Amino acid sequence: MMGLMLIPNDTSSRADEVHLELLRKAPEWRRLEMVGSLVRITRQLSWDGFCRQFSELTENERSLKWVELHYGPLVASRLASRLS
């Protein structure tokens, strides 16, 4: 596996090679399905952490805070005024 940097783990290098070979041989629709699943899981874990960090806020306040952090205070304030 030249050029591929693996994260150290307790899996044998042979098992890693087999896993990568199975991924390479998987049909395109299956690889896209796996990527979609990974994206959904990542978003959910991110949102869960965000909710823990701002647990004192209501769900609506957290949503507006998220919008503010990602799109800026102007967009968040415009959204807040439309929601009220």
Closest CA to 83 of 66, 62, 67, 60: 60
Domain spans of the chain, in order of start: 31-83
Task: Kindly tell me if the per-residue pLDDT of 80 is higher than 60.
Answer: yes
Q: What is the pLDDT of residue 12?
A: 86
pTM above 0.75, yes or no: no
Task: Kindly tell me if the per-residue pLDDT of 20 is higher than 80.
Answer: yes
Task: Kindly tell me if the per-residue pLDDT of 1 is higher than 80.
Answer: no
Share of the chain above pLDDT 90, in %: 80
Give tens-digit pLDDT for 58-72: 999 999 999 999 999
DSSP state letters, 19-80: HHHHHHHS-HHHHHHHHHHHHHHHHHHHHHHHHHHTTTS-HHHHHHHHHHHHH-HHHHHHHH
Q: What is the pLDDT of residue 84?
A: 87
Give phi and psi for 37, each to the nearest 5: -65, -45
